[in-house]
Amino acid sequence: SLRRQLQMCIRDSSCSEQNPVSPNTEGIELIFDLNDDSLQILKTEGGSVITPGNELDSMGLLLYREGDIIKAFSNRCTHASYDLRPFDDSGLSRCIGHGAQFNTDGEAVTGPATRSLKTFETLLNENELTVFGG
């Protein structure tokens, strides 16, 4: 089981990258209101937040504001599917499990992860963010 693999991975550090099964998210659109208290930080350049679990990812989405766009990534480290932290002031998101780091393009910049985060298309219309599955 995946849980057993993760426990073994933690215990002996000899794990390889996991490839969790992704549900079909084709056609799903999620709408976020940036006026919600938990999303206010996305009104500011460099703001980042993790959303609650949703139809696109049961672990939530990692969102990041860059200029007039908000980038959306799966909240799963590509090494072992652990949660990520929001992007910090240096533009890095860190995995809570083994410390892998990802840049604001979703690329793995330190191991043990080597693959980029799953990304989602977005559309920002004033204070309404739409994230598209696919």
Which contacts (CB < 8 Å, 24+ apart) does range 6-9 have?
6/80, 6/81, 9/80
Strands of 6-118, DSSP E: 29-33, 48-50, 61-66, 69-74, 93-94, 101-102, 108-110
Tell whether pTM > 0.85.
no
pLDDT digits (tens, 9 = 90+) for 98-109: 999 999 999 999
pLDDT given for residue 26 in this prediction: 83
pLDDT digits (tens, 9 = 90+) for 50-109: 999 999 999 999 999 999 999 999 999 999 999 999 999 999 999 999 999 999 999 999
Residues composing the chain? 134
Q: Which residue has the higher pLDDT, 18 or 63?
A: 63
Percent of the chain scored above 90 by pLDDT?
79
Tell me whether residue 22 is exposed, middle or buried, using C-beta atoms within 10 angstroms of its C-beta: 0 to 12, 13 to 18, 19 or more: exposed
